[in-house]
Amino acid sequence: MHICVLGAGVIGVTTAYRLLQDGHQVSLIDAHDQPGAGTSQGNGAQLSYSYVAPLADPSVWTKWAYYMFSKESPLTIKPTLDGAQYRWLAQFLRCCNAERVRHTTLDLLQLAFYSRDQLTQWNAGLNLSFDYQRSGKLVMFTDDQGLEAAAAQVRFQAQYGCQQEVLGAAECIRIEPALGHSQRDWAGGVYTPSEEAGDCPQFCRALVDVMQADPNFRFIGGARVDAVRRDDRQGQALCAVQAGGQWLEADHFVLALGADSTDFARLLDLRLPLYPLKGYSITVPLEDDTSRTAAPQVSITDIARKIVYARLGQRLRVAGRIELVGQDRSIPRRAIEELKNGMRELFPACRLGDDATLSPWMGFRPATPSGVPIVGRSPVNNLYLNIGQGALGWTLACGSAALLADQIAGRTRAIDDTPFQYRA
3-class DSSP state for residue 383? strand
Q: Which of 169, 173, 146, 170 is nearest to 347 (CA)?
A: 173
Parallel, antiparallel or unpaired: strands 137-141 and 299-302: parallel
pLDDT of res. 233: 66
pLDDT of res. 236: 76
Distance of CA 280 to CAs 39, 44, 236, 318, 417, Å? 10, 9, 39, 9, 31
Q: Distance (Å, rounded) from C-alpha 2 to C-alpha 384?
A: 13
Which strand ranges, in their side-by-side order, compose the sheet holding 246-249? 225-231, 237-243, 246-249
Question: What letter represents residue 215's amino acid?
Answer: P
**CA geometry: angle 155, 160, 161, nearest 5 deg:** 95
Distance of CA 286 to CAs 42, 170, 294, 352, 362, Å? 17, 26, 9, 9, 21
Long-range Cβ contacts of 287-290 (<8 Å, 24+ apart): 287/314, 287/351, 287/353, 288/351, 290/349, 290/350, 290/351
Distance of CA 306 to CAs 76, 204, 234, 316, 417, Å? 12, 26, 48, 16, 30
**CA geometry: angle 337, 338, 341, nearest 5 deg:** 80
Is residue 400 within 8 Å of 5, Cβ to Cβ?
Answer: no
3-class DSSP state for residue 199? coil
Question: What letter represents residue 183's amino acid?
Answer: Q
Q: Return the bridge partners of 339, or none.
A: none
pLDDT of res. 66: 73
Q: Distance (Å, rounded) from C-alpha 28 to C-alpha 218?
A: 6
Report residue 336 CA to chain centroid gap: 20
Tens of pLDDT along the chain (424 residues) come to 999 999 999 999 999 999 999 999 999 999 999 999 999 999 999 999 999 988 888 888 887 777 766 777 778 888 888 889 999 999 999 999 999 999 999 999 999 999 999 999 999 999 999 999 999 999 999 999 999 999 999 999 999 999 999 999 999 999 999 999 999 999 999 999 999 999 999 999 999 999 999 999 999 999 999 999 998 765 679 999 999 999 999 999 999 999 999 999 999 999 999 999 999 999 999 999 999 999 999 999 999 999 999 999 999 999 999 999 998 999 999 999 999 999 999 999 999 988 889 999 999 999 999 999 999 999 998 999 999 999 999 999 999 999 999 999 999 999 999 999 999 7
Task: Mark residue 298 as left, alpha or beta (left: phi above 0; alpha: psi -120 to 50; beta: remaining).
Answer: beta
Handedness of CA 383, 389, 395, 396 (dihedral sign): negative
How many residues make up the chain in this entry? 424
pLDDT of res. 393: 97
Instruction: Tabulate helix, strand, coil % of the chain (nearest 5).
Output: 40, 25, 35
pLDDT of res. 72: 73
Name, in order, each residue with C-beta under 8 angstroms of 271's C-beta and a sequence gap of 6 or more: 262, 265, 424
Name, in order, each residue with C-beta under 8 angstroms of 34's C-beta and a sequence gap of 6 or more: 201, 205, 221
DSSP letters spanning 238-286: EEEEEETTEEEE-SEEEE--GGGHHHHHHTTT-----EEEEEEEEEEE-
Name, in order, each residue with C-beta under 8 angstroms of 75's C-beta and a sequence gap of 6 or more: 67, 306, 321, 322, 323
Name all domains of the chain by residue range, CATH numbers in brackets. Answer: 2-40+202-273+371-420 (3.50.50.60), 46-197+275-367 (3.30.9.10)
Burial class (CB in 10 A: 0-12, 13-18, 19+), 351: middle
Handedness of CA 260, 263, 265, 271 (dihedral sign): positive
